[in-house]
Amino acid sequence: MVIPCIDLQGGRVVQLVQGREKALEGEPPLEMLRRFQGFPEVQVIDLDAATGAGSNDEIVETLTGRATIRVGGGVRTPERAAKLVRLGAHRIIVGTAAFDPVLLQEISAAAGRERLIVALDSFGGKVVVKGWREETPYRAEDVMPGMEPYCGGFLCTYVDREGMMQGTDLQWFRKLRSVTKLEISAAGGITTMDEIHELTALGIHTVVGMAIYTGRLDLAELAALR
């Protein structure tokens, strides 16, 4: 499955390079959602919530009322996870809080295990948290097995190439696939149909942003993939 993404910052749809530098702005959120209507699921990340700069809850609620949406960004308490469920999120993505065992269990209970996706975002081989601004000592492949009892899958972003249109690291995703049987969604630098086909062959979903927004990949061709 190909999952297009809508990243929200200050009420606008944006695409960032490595989570820091804004590269471009997209159409308004509802227009982007209309463009993505041929896809079974859309990913929405609240970048303001992820960095503690605010939230875009009203936009999130509008989007979740119109499509099947997985939502992430700033989910650090069970109350926040439960609120996103009430707002209509189909899946909940948790990153930073997943490294607190007690919080992870509480968030899993609040959202429901199958609904919860753990984000394991890697830069320089180590997982990064707090909006990709803080490095942890962990490698994604080492922590995945211990998190399996609390989630229905993983969102794994290769931050080294995120937004750079230079391709992703397929070998890293092969390694991740070898350590878990749960759902994996791949993100970070995915630029070509060949990469998408290779990831699909591994049983990995692909989350695509910059390559769509720049027109590098064709929406109709992507939507036709299952």
- Catalytic (active-site) positions: 7, 121
* Per-residue tokens: 199: 């990831």
Query: Is the distance from CB of 52 to CB of 85 less than 8 angstroms?
Result: no
DSSP class of residue 74 equals S
Query: Is the distance from CB of 158 to CB of 189 less than 8 angstroms?
Result: yes
* Per-residue tokens: 150: 């609390």
> Rounded to whole angstroms, how far apart are CA atoms 72 and 44?
6
> Rounded to whole angstroms, how far apart are CA atoms 69 and 106?
22
DSSP class of residue 37 equals T
